[in-house]
Structure 1
Amino acid sequence: MLMFGVQGTILPAPDFSPVMDAQMIGGALQEYDCNKDMLIDILTQRCNAQRIMIAEAYQSMYGKDLIADLKENLSGHFKDVMVGLMYPPPSYDAHELWHAMKGSGTEENCLIDILASRTNGEIFQMKEAYYLQYNSDLQEDIYSETSGHFRDTLMNLVQGTREEGYTNPAMAAQDAMVLWEACQQKTGEHKTMLQMILCNKSYQQLWMVFQEFQNISGQDMVDAINECYDGYFQELLVAIVLCVRDKPAFFAYRLYSAIHEFGFHNKTVIRILIARSEIDLMNIRKRYKERYGKSLFHDIKNFASGHYEKALLAICAGDVEDY
């Protein structure tokens, strides 16, 4: 498992005044056609905790909800970015999962991105936020909106019961053997065993298991899964393996796919940039450049435009711009 200092692009702003920011945002929203540049300058340069304080000051000052006013005054993908920035991280995950399941058809890639990558603590907070926001149980909704072994794996992940920090080298070879058999046999029982190991063992343990798997089978874990399984079940298993190995590289891959393979899948790009902005977006940028030869800035500039592009680039930038 690759260990390095994780770094977001958005840090707390120094000399922060929520009252002053709330006043400026209020003025920006009242201008004809709305001062979008002002909104970008403020909301992309404050950390989430500071944005929450701005929203509280705004409520006190104007007696109105800032998220509601942003929704009313903005439109399109730019609105999605600005509104998304205002949610606390667990609420944003809940918001994305709800809309992924409650629209016409389920957006499985959203479920995969979020549930394959979140920690136990993040999953617990997300479930709580989901219930508070939608008066609905996340596990029940996943159960009713998905099916098969894909559903079983999601249901396992959403329990948030992955072992943390625990390793047992003696068990690694045994678990690797179970995974290898699961890729050979492909019965329902073997699929269950496969997902149980991937969803419940610690990242440190799985790192050893994948090395043992390579020794036993002569094959990389991801290649074996791709060869043996298909559909969303296969995509979810691969996502878990990639997150164990190098989470920033996983998100770099997801961004690259969303930008290039889907003709710029806006929802995915927005979701990842906002969700990772205070966690590891700087690392994701580095992985993107290393793996794909061009910077994330370059690719966003090629596919987005106007204030939407400016907002995405501002979230990406942190204090280092890499064109």
Structure 2
Amino acid sequence: MSYPGYPPSGGYPAFPGYPPTGQESVYPPAGQYAYPAVPGGYPPAGAGTYPAAPPNAAGYPAPGGYPAPGCYPGAPPAGGMPPYPGAPTGPGFGVPPAGPGFGGYPQPPAQSYAGGGPAQIPGFPGGQVPSPMPGPPAAMVQGTQGTIQAAPNFDAGRDAEILRKAMKGFGTDEQAIINVVANRSNDQRQKIKAAFKTMYGKDLIKDLKSELSGNVEELILALFMPSTYYDAWSLRHAMKGAGTQERVLIEILCTRTNQEIQEIVKCYKSEFGRDIEQDIRADTSGHFERLLISMCQGNRDENQTVDYQKAQEDAQRLYQAGEGKLGTDESCFNMVLASRSFPQLKATVEAYSRIANRDLLSSIDREFSGNVERGLKTILQCALNRPAFFAERLYYSMKGAGTDDSTLIRIIVTRSEIDLVQIKQMFTQMYQKTLATMIASDTSGDYRRLLLAIVGQ
């Protein structure tokens, strides 16, 4: 038995850690649509299914068919699952993984877009909580869904020489600079910086600053910052001086993984000599301050297994802390949304809809306001569909008069090696236009060319 697109061409397994070590020889490499026969009758003649797994071979199919329910996290049901609009493509993504708790893609919106306004995805502002078709677990897409990949045959010295020539003498060859920075991973850019200093005894960043200006300068300097440093720098910049850019604090602290947050907190201390918690306390207050302090711990449960009983209990607790009483118990919302894993929160959202006859995002709209409302909704949106959250942020950075260039630059740079492919797909699905089209109409010159090069146009 086989179905189109699965297993992926190029070999099985497509999932890290599967099959378990020591069992690799049980299944030979996959062909385009099915396993090849091997001497001895594999699969068994006339069986029509894949053979049963060896006894106690955890994670292999059970007798009688392939794949067996629960044979590995995220396995599609027997018979396969159809692709859906906006689904990611490429190795390992021919059929979306099934199973609860892998928060991914909402169903395409059913409403008409004739009015010209942006489409709203269920579960996002103004919509309903979706019953989304699950997307791939984060472990599967990490590093595979970025528009920027590490360049093959990379030579840091050669790239340093190209950049030096582009800046030497009268005028600057911006296109040569764009060709290098838009096609190298962040790790490779760090190597180029080191090679430049070794070869020419000069600081590449200072040279770039002297040759560039405006938004293209900000964009290129962001690309040359190590990713953790860029997040820490953005947080420091958001709290430095008069006023606070609360949306930047929310965008970074409420969307990053535990490991990313822990590294950001350490970098903030080592690079700026400051304690991020103290800066947050000095710049924010009330329930928003408490939510950000909770986020700074980088201690969210990361167990990918969903406890449906706990989801039901949390949903009931949230209902009684908000819609089910006069006033709001903000600490209850903080506790659940700051500590539960994203798959667990997704199950809680679904349970809440059944209890309250209202989606949880709408309840937060009614019970909270201001920055704490935005922070709580960001956490839930990431649990339901992280690429859609960033697509929405990108859209509103360019919508209307003027452009929020710092937000546009920050999201394009920070997601370029993680999930910008998915963000682009969600952008098209949500707003009926491509991200590249909107960037092209909102920006100009070398700034536009570099942005479009990064997003893969």
Give the structure 2 partner of residue 13 of structure 1. Answer: 151
Identity %: 37
Give the structure 2 partner of residue 314 of structure 1. Answer: 453
User: Structure 2 counterpart of 1:254, which letter?
Assistant: R
Check if 1:74 corresponds to 2:212.
yes
Displacement of 1:178: 1.6
1:109-159 deviation digits (Å, cap 9, x = unpaired):
111111111000000111111112111111211111111111110100110
Give the structure 1 partner of residue 260 of structure 2. Answer: 122
Check the 8 A contact 1:153/1:199 in 2, yes or no.
yes
| Secondary structure of 2:350 counterpart | helix
Written as runs of structure 1 = structure 2, the 5 A alignment for 1:96-175 is 96-165=234-303, 166-175=305-314
User: Structure 2 counterpart of 1:239, which letter?
Assistant: T
Written as runs of structure 1 = structure 2, the 5 A alignment for 1:248-267 is 248-261=387-400, 263-267=402-406
| Secondary structure of 1:64 counterpart | coil
- Alignment partner of 2:432 out of 287, 293, 313: 293
Give the structure 1 partner of residue 195 of structure 2. Answer: 57
- Give the distance between the partners of 1:186 and 1:284, measured in 2 at CA: 39
User: Structure 2 counterpart of 1:131, which letter?
Assistant: K
| Secondary structure of 1:244 counterpart | helix
Give the structure 2 partner of residue 272 of structure 1. Answer: 411
Check if 1:86 corresponds to 2:224.
yes
- Give the distance between the partners of 1:64 and 1:201, measured in 2 at CA: 48
Question: Which protein shows a greater Rg?
Answer: 2
Check the 8 A contact 1:186/1:228 in 2, yes or no.
no
Change (3 A) 1:262 1:179: farther
TM-score, structure 2 as length reference: 0.68
| Secondary structure of 2:153 counterpart | coil
Change (3 A) 1:262 1:94: farther
Change (3 A) 1:309 1:238: same
CA RMSD, Structure 1 to Structure 2 (Å): 1.4
Give the structure 2 partner of residue 40 of structure 1. Answer: 178
133-142 or 246-255: bigger deviation:
133-142
- Alignment partner of 1:231 out of 370, 382, 386: 370
- Give the distance between the partners of 1:312 and 1:110, measured in 2 at CA: 20
218-227 or 282-291: bigger deviation:
218-227
Give the structure 1 partner of residue 420 of structure 2. Answer: 281
Displacement of 1:263: 2.8
- Give the distance between the partners of 1:144 and 1:46, measured in 2 at CA: 38
- Give the distance between the partners of 1:153 and 1:187, measured in 2 at CA: 19
Change (3 A) 1:62 1:254: same
- Give the distance between the partners of 2:378 and 2:260, measured in 1 at CA: 17
